[in-house]
Structure 1
Amino acid sequence: MNVIASKKMFLFEPAIFSSLKNFAKQQEEKLGVNLIDLSLGSPDIPPHDMLLQSMSELSRQPSSYGYTLTGSNEFYAAVARYYLRVNKVNLNPETEIVQTIGSQEGLVHFPLAFCDPGDYVLTTNPGYVAYAAGITLAGATPFYIPLDESNGFLPNLKAIPDDIAQKAKLLLLNMPGNPVPMSPSIEYFSEVVEFAKKYNIIVLHDAAYSEFYFSGEAPISFLAAPGAKEVGLEINSLSKSFSLAGARVAYIAGNAEMVAIIKQLKSNLDFGIFDPIQTTAALALDHAEEITAPLRRTFAQRHATLMEGLQELGWEVAPSNGGMFVWAKYPYNLDSVSFAYKAIEQTGVLMVPGTTFGTEGEGFVRLALVQKDELLKEAVSRLRTLTI
């Protein structure tokens, strides 16, 4: 049988994560040392005991195994309580929140709901890989906004030509970001709202790392900016903040008219999430302060260890006060893909090449804070031995 993929499939490149891990496994025996995997941003800290107990008890109930169809009222009410308590933002749980099967699903399907072929989508370079996948799936055209280092790596809206802004339908933002963990301000988000109103552009802010901050106050929610709900939405996931990555539960909140359109799309694509996951997610949101505080302390220490260690090696590290990653420029004259493989070959340390996230990532690597402090110190020690 001659199996031929659709033409659209040729627009999607294979993810580099699998090839990096396969190469690393081949090198592990040759090096005679254990790998230190800083590639995938999958939390290594288990969920809080109350969440484990909740999932265990609920999963044993026979009544838990029917279709849920959509997000539960319990889950939506918990999201609304969380936003009011943490972000001082009022949300209507019935009309201003829609559940997604993790933020990846929500991000990839989002452009389908609002963009036609030829519409422009504004996003960043470098930026999270799911944004490009969603733009491609919708047949839209990306326009990449530079991240202005002199402005704290915030996307420079002034760099968007007027004719592009006039044709844009959607603006995708992510702060603290992946891979660049820049932090927003209320002033910046107010600028985003004014920009969106001027050009009639929908804004989606990816707040997946909103609970990962290392000092001071939490990152600002986009929905806290005056007028934000008039122009857009915020997507947030429980994957990182509550160590529930495998549970695949997230939500989009904000503009009611936009939420209704997403609900319509999702009613044709999928059913709701397993009910014990929804109930446990609601429990997590209602106990967010208790659950996330110790996680922040752990990741703050890891961030300091890795950032300071790399700086001692002569690497340039993007300043940050949050997120789950370190974005670093290595001091070698080698492209980022070749460097990532060379680092595995010589040290057994896995990092993601910067160009995975866009052309502007050349010369950089992304390192995830997903190993204990001692292993991060070991990773820095191993990287000191690189000979390039």
Structure 2
Amino acid sequence: MKFSKRIDQLNEGIFAKLLEIKREKLARGEQVIDLSVGSPNIAPARHILDALCAAAADERNYTYAISDLPELLEAVSKWYKNRYGVDLDPKTEICSLMGSQEGFPLISMTVVDEGDLVLIPDPCYPIFADGPRMAGAKLYYMPQKRENGYIVNLKDIPEDIARLAKLMIVSYPNNPTTAVAPDEFYHELIAFAKEYDIIVLHDNAYSDLVFDNKRGGSFLAYPGAKDVGVEFNSLSKTYGIAGARIGFCVGNKEVVSRLKMLKSNLDYGMFIPIQKAAIAAITGDQSCVSRTREAYEIRRNILCDGFNSIGWHMKKPEATMFVWAPIPPKYEKSIDFAMDMLNRAGVMVTPGSAFGPSGEGHVRIALVQDIEDIKKAIEAVKRSGILD
């Protein structure tokens, strides 16, 4: 059998590998506290579940959706206006995604041709790199350095690289570094994209998980943003419906129209009951969003305070559902530390090397377990002696 060179560029996802190890340990009766995958354990609010269940019980909703329901597009438009102060045309500036994950390869296919250059942050969530790779793009890594607050320094991008680039992917609040970008960054980003004719994709999955009484926003709220790009937004973390796969691409109508065209040739639209659940989520009582944010902030405080108290020093994140923690000095590689954590303490974290070259030296910890399990994880690490 002969296979494409495209698939040879990809590796089995780190989360699939970790899951396999986890299952083996559980089969042997060992305890595993999983702080690796960012899969929310906070259930959707009742009004979201009720909308999904009611729609799923209606036999008329099992036909092909073909495209987004008009009421879904209207709901997203109103949501962006109320939440972010951004005006969106429901007909031309909004396209649903079956989760943001699928959006990265699809938008890459609409923007880049084989051999085109895409700028991606480093470290970054793996699909930021793998999506463009699937479209045959070449990658240029934009370092997110600690000394710059883990914000991309656009001035460091060589001019010849900028002139070759066709697409740039950025994301703040950031996964995995948890950084939040200041207003100045977005103004510079838009000016940079205009100067070099680069399409910007901003992933905005964590704007409602910003802590310490601060409030997240949208890339599209900055003047000129819709001239140069689009934003992905997701209901997975904010509303606890990650498995339902609901996301949106919003912004520049030329980009959105081509994405819609591609999707019309690939799928028959999002399952109608899931569209109904999305409408209920973004138009219903939003107190569930505050409760979710508060839950993650409490978990953040307990986890960071606990690990700091036993000698694993880490900074509390400003946002997201993750902690970006340096590995202990005695370790050189994050994968070695992550495996020792799993084998000696029964605690799973994600090695920073999974997020790109600059991720080495850190691990990402997901705040996806209840308080009691977080406390158990801290105690297990302490007993293991891994920090000694």
- Into which bin does the TM-score normalised by the smaller protein fall? over 0.9
Corresponding position of 1:283: 280
Aligned partners of 1:312, 1:123: CA distance in 2, in Å? 36
Compute the TM-score of the two structures, normalised by the length of structure 1: 0.95
Q: In the alignment, is the contact (CA less than 8 A) between 2:47 and 2:284 conserved in 1?
A: no
1:151-194 alpha-carbon deviations (Å, 9 max, x no partner): 32111111111110000011101111111111122221111101
Aligned partners of 1:319, 1:294: CA distance in 2, in Å? 19
Aligned partners of 2:257, 2:21: CA distance in 1, in Å? 45
Q: In the alignment, is the contact (CA less than 8 A) between 2:25 and 2:31 conserved in 1?
A: no
Relative to structure 1, the CA distance from residue 312 to residue 156 in structure 2 (aligned partners, 3 Å threshold; closer, same or farther) is: farther
How far residue 318 of structure 1 moved from its aligned partner, in angstroms, is: 4.7
How far residue 373 of structure 1 moved from its aligned partner, in angstroms, is: 1.2
Corresponding position of 2:375: 377
Corresponding position of 1:259: 256
Q: In the alignment, is the contact (CA less than 8 A) between 1:24 and 1:348 conserved in 2?
A: no
Q: Secondary structure at the match of 1:240?
A: coil
The residue correspondences of 1:209-288 to structure 2 (distance < 5 A) are: 209-287=206-284
Compute the TM-score of the two structures, normalised by the length of structure 2: 0.95
Aligned partners of 1:303, 1:319: CA distance in 2, in Å? 7
Root mean square deviation, CA, Å: 1.5
Q: Secondary structure at the match of 2:354?
A: helix
How far residue 17 of structure 1 moved from its aligned partner, in angstroms, is: 1.8
Aligned partners of 1:201, 1:380: CA distance in 2, in Å? 45
Q: Mean Cα displacement is larger for which, 196-205 or 215-224?
A: 215-224
The residue correspondences of 1:1-388 to structure 2 (distance < 5 A) are: 3-28=1-26, 33-287=30-284, 289-331=286-328, 332-388=330-386
How far residue 319 of structure 1 moved from its aligned partner, in angstroms, is: 4.7
1:286-331 alpha-carbon deviations (Å, 9 max, x no partner): 1262220110110010111112222233334355211011110121
Relative to structure 1, the CA distance from residue 334 to residue 368 in structure 2 (aligned partners, 3 Å threshold; closer, same or farther) is: same
Whichever residue aligns with residue 5 of structure 1, its letter is: F
How far residue 5 of structure 1 moved from its aligned partner, in angstroms, is: 2.6
Q: In the alignment, is the contact (CA less than 8 A) between 1:236 and 1:251 conserved in 2?
A: yes
Aligned partners of 1:4, 1:370: CA distance in 2, in Å? 41
Aligned partners of 2:112, 2:142: CA distance in 1, in Å? 18
Aligned partners of 2:92, 2:242: CA distance in 1, in Å? 26
Whichever residue aligns with residue 116 of structure 2, its letter is: D
Q: In the alignment, is the contact (CA less than 8 A) between 1:48 and 1:291 conserved in 2?
A: yes
Q: In the alignment, is the contact (CA less than 8 A) between 1:24 and 1:345 conserved in 2?
A: no
Q: Secondary structure at the match of 2:383?
A: coil
Gaps of 5+ in 1: none
Q: Secondary structure at the match of 1:23?
A: helix
Gaps of 5+ in 2: none
Whichever residue aligns with residue 23 of structure 1, its letter is: I
Aligned partners of 1:317, 1:161: CA distance in 2, in Å? 33
Aligned partners of 2:376, 2:364: CA distance in 1, in Å? 17
Q: In the alignment, is the contact (CA less than 8 A) between 1:20 and 1:341 conserved in 2?
A: no
Aligned partners of 1:306, 1:338: CA distance in 2, in Å? 21
Whichever residue aligns with residue 294 of structure 2, its letter is: R
The number of aligned residues is 385
Q: Secondary structure at the match of 1:155?
A: coil
Q: In the alignment, is the contact (CA less than 8 A) between 2:229 and 2:252 conserved in 1?
A: yes
Q: Mean Cα displacement is larger for which, 15-24 or 111-120?
A: 15-24
